[in-house]
Amino acid sequence: MGLRRAGSAAAILPNLSRADIMSSPAVLLEPPAVAADDRCYHCGEPCPDEALALDGKNFCCLGCQTVFTLLQENGLAQFYALNARPGTRIRARVSAARWGFLDDPAVQAALYDYADAAQARVTLQLPAIHCVACVWLLENLFKLHPGVGRSVVNFSRREAAIAFAPAKLKFSELAALLESIGYEPQFTFGEAAKAKVSPWRQRTWLQIGMAGFAFSNIMIMSLPFYLGLDTYNGPWFRTFAGWLALALALPVVTFSAADFWRAAWASYRQRRLTMEVPIVLGLVAIYGSSVFEVATQRGPGYCDSLCGLIFFLLCGRLFQKKTHDRLTFDRDYKGFFPLSVVRKHAGGEECVAISRLETGDHLVLRNGELVPADAKLVAGEGCIDYSFVTGESEPVKCGAGERLYAGGRQVGGAIEIETVKPVAQSYLAALWNNEAFHKPGNQDLDSLTNRYSKRFTRLVIGVAVAAAVFWAFKNPAVSLKAFTSVLIVACPCALALAAPLTHGTAQRRLARLNIYLKNALVIERMAEVDTIVLDKTGTLTTADAGGVRFQPADSGGRNADLSADETKWVASLARLSTHPNSVRIARALGAAALPVHHFEETPGAGVAGEVGGHAIRLGSPAWAGQGAADGDARPGAIAGSAVMVAIDGRVAGAFVLENTLRPEVGKLIALLGGRYEIALLSGDNERESARFRTIFGERAVMKFNQSPADKLNYIRELQQRGRKVMMVGDGLNDAGALKQAEVGVAVVERIGVFSPASDVILDAEQVPKLAQVLDFARRSARVVRAGFAISALYNVAGVSIAAAGLLAPIVCAILMPASSVTVVVFACTVTIWMANRAGLRTEAPPAPEVLR
Amino acid sequence: MNVIIILILVSLAVALLFLAGFVWAVRSGQYEDTVTPSLRVLADETKAPAESISESNSTSKRT
């Protein structure tokens, strides 16, 4: 398949906006040391030697300087006072035309929160928000343009709700304005389709508030009964307090516990025993027996325990939801596509929503835009970056008539394409639509909690019935009391809290290390994994920090490395380009800043210029070798991608950019090898097989030239043999395999840039920690079991008292909160302790994310 | 009737007031975002947006 060969073409491209290239330091060759003062005043990145200076401040590029000037002029200089170097590097020239699709009324209707004749309000995703200064600047946006009204930032969701007057400032202009100051808005289908409101938030808070209110007030009223003081006021007080407590508890049972009722009803209809069933059973038993006791004037009831139980359960649930909410990422594949594209028709061009595309449509793609569906190149020079698809960062050059695949991104000039497949049938959608993606949540039902709760419910009902039968013979008056007391005291509060708190704590700890889990249950599944399948490119190797090697031309008169002077010439030229290959070469060659004349960058080909009187060309073999004397041979067989160097019309050789292994990969494999079965799957050819064999050892399975479907099938095969598989991969290419595996781990170079369907998103730098993470997952599962054991101890004590018919309200009131609190404290502290033991210590104390 | 009933009812009424306050706080969206306000106070006070955009609409509950 053509896609997998994406990396083989070497091409030099300007203006490539792959942000990760700019920010990841070279590992092989240290970048030239830069004093702290030389960093850009705006974005904090190292400045080139002849930095742009203004007001005694250095700037790395014109973009940063422009933003600085703009903010100064509009009285927004405080931006720089709030946080040192708070900006984001301005990477590409801003064009309002790029945002043209935002002026399509259909798109606007989908995105606007509110619109009338005078103003519109929209909530925009601005992933670049990262500090105090960002919040301040965005909320003072009205100072930059009179058309902007009030803007409110939601920091944790990286969102800004902005009101603006479309008459003064078009939506596309607003987007361009934001982009120009470094906050490029992100639009996705998934976002647009998502419901705008998150009703659970407010509801959960209200439910907790209600339960807490009732809990505390009933407890205050019940104090005399705990202490046996109620006889002083006579039985009428007990009745009065009892009815009042029942009244206060009523909204708790109906409103606060509504979700438990609903879940229990659902599991009843599906004939399953989930955690909610014993909870609801307990609720009914407690409230019912309380009504009975109060009505027959036997006692004050158990409403205090009831409300406390629901209060603690809801708190645990809120903690879980908040954790999940914060770490949620969008796995909707539509999210990768732009909302609309420019379609050509007889009269000119128009913006159309992507869902309205038809086969045979002619589309115009500009720099940085995605190919929405499989297509044919009609005009222009295609240079497609398939990094979303294959994980390979080097773009593929295409000529007219060649096939382009969905998910590729055009870099360079505008091209015209003709779609050959509708959006849904394209290559990526076909992979995404694989049934592995629609796997119903069956595995969730198999969670530890549900397995335990099944046994728990059966056991409790069994004990309750046994107690009732026993007392029916011995003393029929106690029979009903024993039956209900068992159900009351055996409430699985602690059981329900153990897993969410442990997993939630674990999830937060991992998130601090830039390891994001889709949900808490992933930890449990990770603990059960016994086979690990690793992808090669982008997972074990990294292109960004790759080794750069110079290979001299092997014939044509010279067979030597570049001289010191020549190295300087080439370095001076390379550093002027922002293309990843140029950046890597410039870093590898070290600092050199000779003046370059006649600098010229040809998209998709290379850079040329005159340094010290010599014409230097750096780029793809076909391009850089142009005008070379006949007989100048190309360098010999090259493994990896090559960038050709020509000096004064003679081919001097080529830079070979190798994919290097991430540091500590060998150690990681050795650690994992002891416990897990390991396999390596790669889309690349076998040229590096020997190197990996030494790392992986003889036993490991190694497969090369694997297509995405091959990877998917291999994992399915393993699963059919009863294996629990964890797939570690990168790129949408592995998406099917990631989803098919019990645990899919996506390795990303920059969080937020890329999120394929997976269960775990792992920052590339944390790959060596994988073994510790798995170790931690197993320990967490043990913590959950220990939590269950603690809760079981309390239950045994409580149930014994209850079955003996001796349950007093005070026992209930003490036992229930005590068991909950013990489990909460145990789960949180032991999980953190375990994380430290597993070697997942965070360097700094829980730093607020504000401080970057 | 006993004075304790009055006391309990009064204390309950006060508690209900607090509950109402909590409900108001939740409904007005104060629990939606608990991070940004803590950042906002770090910056100095700035003037409200220009009058060109009417404030009343932008604070409507249509989030």
Same domain, A589 and A723: no
Of A11-25, A92-106, A284-298, minimum mean pLDDT range? A11-25
Phi-psi region of A4 (alpha: psi -120 to 50; beta: other; left: phi over 0): alpha
Q: Could you tell me if residue A261 is inside a domain?
A: no
Q: Is the pLDDT of residue A247 over 90?
A: yes
Same domain, A605 and A581: yes
Same domain, A535 and A665: yes
Give, in order, the Cα–Cα distances in Å from A426 to each of A359, A407, A422, A739.
Answer: 11, 9, 7, 19
A78, A130, A131, A136, best to mutate vs chain B, most B CBs in 10 Å: A136
Q: Please tell me the predicted confidence (pLDDT) of residue A439.
A: 41
Q: Please tell me the predicted confidence (pLDDT) of residue A326.
A: 55
pLDDT-based confidence at A845, cuts 50/70/90?
A: very low
Same domain, A642 and A561: yes
Q: Which residues pair with A351 in a beta bridge?
A: A342
Residue A62: both structure tokens together: 């014109």
Q: Using the CB atoms, write b or e for A359-375: b if 16+ within 10 Å.
A: eebbbbbbbbbbbbbbb
Same domain, A174 and A100: yes
Q: Smallest Cα–Cα separation from A382: which of A13, A786, A79? A: A13
CA closest to A220 among chain B residues: B8
Q: Please tell me the predicted confidence (pLDDT) of residue A254.
A: 92
Q: Please tell me the predicted confidence (pLDDT) of residue A348.
A: 66
Check CB contact under 8 Å for B11 and A196.
Answer: no
Q: Is the pLDDT of residue A677 over 90?
A: no
The SS3 assignment for A246 reads helix
Q: Is the pLDDT of residue A15 over 70?
A: no
Check CB contact under 8 Å for B32 and A213.
Answer: no
- Contact residues on chain A for B24, CB-CB shorter than 8 A: none
| CATH number, domain with residue A511 | 3.40.50.1000
Check CB contact of B58 with chain A, cutoff 8 Å.
yes
Residue A611: both structure tokens together: 């340094």
User: Angle at Cα A760 formed by Cα A757 and Cα A763, nearest 5°?
Assistant: 110
Tell me the mean pLDDT in the region A80-108.
71
pLDDT-based confidence at A809, cuts 50/70/90?
A: low
Residue A106: both structure tokens together: 């259909």
Q: Could you tell me if residue A381 is inside a domain?
A: no
Q: Please tell me the predicted confidence (pLDDT) of residue A81.
A: 74
Same domain, A64 and A145: no
Q: Is the pLDDT of residue A10 over 50?
A: no
Check CB contact of B8 with chain A, cutoff 8 Å.
yes
Residue A38: both structure tokens together: 């030389």
Q: What is the mean pLDDT of chain A?
A: 73
The answer to whether the Cα torsion of A176, A180, A186, A192 is positive or negative is: negative
Determine contact, residues A90/A64, Cβ cutoff 8 Å. Answer: yes
**C-alpha span between A172 and A166 (Å, rounded):** 10
Closest CA–CA distance from residue B58 to any residue of chain A (Å): 6
Q: Is the pLDDT of residue A466 over 50?
A: yes
Q: Please tell me the predicted confidence (pLDDT) of residue B12.
A: 92
Q: Please tell me the predicted confidence (pLDDT) of residue A368.
A: 58
Check CB contact under 8 Å for A237 and B11.
Answer: no
Please name the member of A114, A136, A165 whose beta carbon is closest to the beta carbon of B52.
A165
Closest CA–CA distance from residue B60 to any residue of chain A (Å): 9
Amino acid at A695: I
Same domain, A557 and A538: no
Q: Could you tell me if residue A848 is inside a domain?
A: no
DSSP string, A512-575: HTTEEESSTHHHHHHHH--EEEEESTTTTEESTT--EEEEE-SSSS---PPPHHHHHHHHHHHT
The SS3 assignment for A662 reads coil
| CATH number, domain with residue A186 | 3.30.70.100
Give, in order, the Cα–Cα distances in Å from A167 to each of A116, A148, A175, A651, B49.
Answer: 11, 11, 15, 58, 17
Q: Which residues pair with A548 in a beta bridge?
A: A657
Give, in order, the Cα–Cα distances in Å from A734 to each of A307, A671, A729.
Answer: 48, 24, 6
Of A539-543, A600-604, A681-685, minimum mean pLDDT range? A600-604
**C-alpha span between B49 and B51 (Å, rounded):** 6
Of A281-290, A300-309, B45-54, minimum mean pLDDT range? B45-54
Q: Using the CB atoms, write b or e for A537-573: b if 16+ within 10 Å.
A: bbbbbbbbbbbbbbbbbeebeeeeebeeebbbbbbbb
Of A798-812, A835-849, B9-23, minimum mean pLDDT range? A835-849
Q: Which residues pair with A703 in a beta bridge?
A: A681
Q: Please tell me the predicted confidence (pLDDT) of residue B17.
A: 96
Tell me the mean pLDDT in the region A347-362.
69
Same domain, A126 and A30: no
Element (H, E) at A378: strand A375-379
Of A742, A758, A777, the domain-final residue: A777
Check CB contact under 8 Å for A150 and B19.
Answer: no
Q: Please tell me the predicted confidence (pLDDT) of residue A577.
A: 60
Q: Could you tell me if residue A29 is inside a domain?
A: yes
Determine contact, residues A426/A406, Cβ cutoff 8 Å. Answer: yes
Q: Which DSSP letter does residue A53 get?
A: E
**C-alpha span between A510 and A365 (Å, rounded):** 39
Of A748, A777, A806, the domain-final residue: A777
Backbone angles phi, psi at A826, to 5 degrees: -60, -50
Check CB contact under 8 Å for B35 and A155.
Answer: yes
- Contact residues on chain B for A163, CB-CB shorter than 8 A: 53, 57-58
Q: Please tell me the predicted confidence (pLDDT) of residue A158.
A: 76
| Terminal-to-terminal C-alpha distance of chain B | 50
Backbone angles phi, psi at A746, to 5 degrees: -100, 125
Check CB contact under 8 Å for B36 and A202.
Answer: no
| CATH number, domain with residue A556 | 3.40.1110.10
Give, in order, the Cα–Cα distances in Å from A302 to each of A308, A497, A703, A790.
Answer: 10, 21, 64, 23
Check CB contact under 8 Å for B22 and A209.
Answer: yes
Q: Please tell me the predicted confidence (pLDDT) of residue A11.
A: 35
pLDDT-based confidence at A635, cuts 50/70/90?
A: very low
Question: What's the CA dihedral at A682, A685, A686, A691 to 10 degrees?
Answer: -60
- Contact residues on chain A for B58, CB-CB shorter than 8 A: 119, 121, 149-150, 163
> Over pLDDT 90: what percentage of chain A?
3
pLDDT-based confidence at A798, cuts 50/70/90?
A: confident
Q: Please tell me the predicted confidence (pLDDT) of residue A298.
A: 77
User: Angle at Cα A738 formed by Cα A733 and Cα A739, nearest 5°?
Assistant: 115
Number of separate domains in chain A: 4
Q: Using the CB atoms, write b or e for A105-125: b if 16+ within 10 Å.
A: eebbeebebbeeeebbbbbbb
**C-alpha span between A622 and B59 (Å, rounded):** 60
pLDDT-based confidence at A207, cuts 50/70/90?
A: very high
Q: Is the pLDDT of residue A688 over 80?
A: no
Q: Is the pLDDT of residue A440 over 60?
A: no
B7, B16, B36, best to mutate vs chain A, most A CBs in 10 Å: B36
pLDDT-based confidence at B22, cuts 50/70/90?
A: very high
A428 Cα distance to chain centroid: 20
Q: Please tell me the predicted confidence (pLDDT) of residue A217.
A: 92
Q: Could you tell me if residue A632 is inside a domain?
A: yes
Tell me the mean pLDDT in the region A29-56.
62
Q: Please tell me the predicted confidence (pLDDT) of residue A731.
A: 53
Q: Could you tell me if residue A377 is inside a domain?
A: no
Which residue segment(s) compose the domain that A574 sits in?
548-658
Determine contact, residues A208/A318, Cβ cutoff 8 Å. Answer: yes
Q: Is the pLDDT of residue A72 over 70?
A: yes
pLDDT tens for A116-131 read 878 888 888 777 777 7
For chain B, helix (H) and strand (E) counts, in that order, are: 3, 0
**C-alpha span between A689 and A705 (Å, rounded):** 11
Q: Please tell me the predicted confidence (pLDDT) of residue B16.
A: 94
Q: Could you tell me if residue A799 is inside a domain?
A: no
Same domain, A672 and A528: yes
Q: Could you tell me if residue A577 is inside a domain?
A: yes
Please name the member of B2, B11, B19 whose beta carbon is closest to the beta carbon of A233.
B2
DSSP string, A154-212: ETTTTEEEEEE-TTTS-HHHHHHHHHHTT---B--HHHHHS-S--HHHHHHHHHHHHHH
CA closest to B14 among chain A residues: A217
Closest CA–CA distance from residue A444 to any residue of chain B (Å): 28
Chains A and B form CB pairs within 8 A to the count of: 112
Please name the member of B2, B8, B22 whose beta carbon is closest to the beta carbon of A221.
B8
**C-alpha span between A257 and A122 (Å, rounded):** 35
Same domain, A646 and A670: no
The answer to whether the Cα torsion of A742, A747, A751, A753 is positive or negative is: negative
pLDDT tens for A739-760 read 778 888 877 654 333 444 567 7
Same domain, A647 and A703: no
Q: Maximum distance among all alpha carbons in chain B?
A: 62
Check CB contact under 8 Å for B50 and A220.
Answer: no
CA closest to A131 among chain B residues: B39
Determine contact, residues A750/A393, Cβ cutoff 8 Å. Answer: no
Of A50-59, A166-175, A668-677, minimum mean pLDDT range? A50-59
Of A756, A777, A798, the domain-final residue: A777
Please name the member of B5, B46, B55 whose beta carbon is closest to the beta carbon of A140.
B46
Same domain, A686 and A739: yes
Tell me the mean pLDDT in the region A442-470.
76
> Over pLDDT 70: what percentage of chain A?
69
pLDDT tens for A773-786 read 888 999 888 888 88
Check CB contact under 8 Å for B19 and A850.
Answer: no
Q: Please tell me the predicted confidence (pLDDT) of residue A176.
A: 85
**C-alpha span between A90 and A92 (Å, rounded):** 6
- Contact residues on chain A for B60, CB-CB shorter than 8 A: 114
Check CB contact under 8 Å for A114 and B62.
Answer: yes
A100 Cα distance to chain centroid: 29
The SS3 assignment for A829 reads helix
Of A250-259, A495-504, A540-549, A689-698, minimum mean pLDDT range? A540-549
B26, B32, B39, B55, best to mutate vs chain A, most A CBs in 10 Å: B39
pLDDT-based confidence at B21, cuts 50/70/90?
A: very high
Q: Please tell me the predicted confidence (pLDDT) of residue A477.
A: 73
Higher pLDDT, A312 or A366: A312
**C-alpha span between A439 and A45 (Å, rounded):** 44
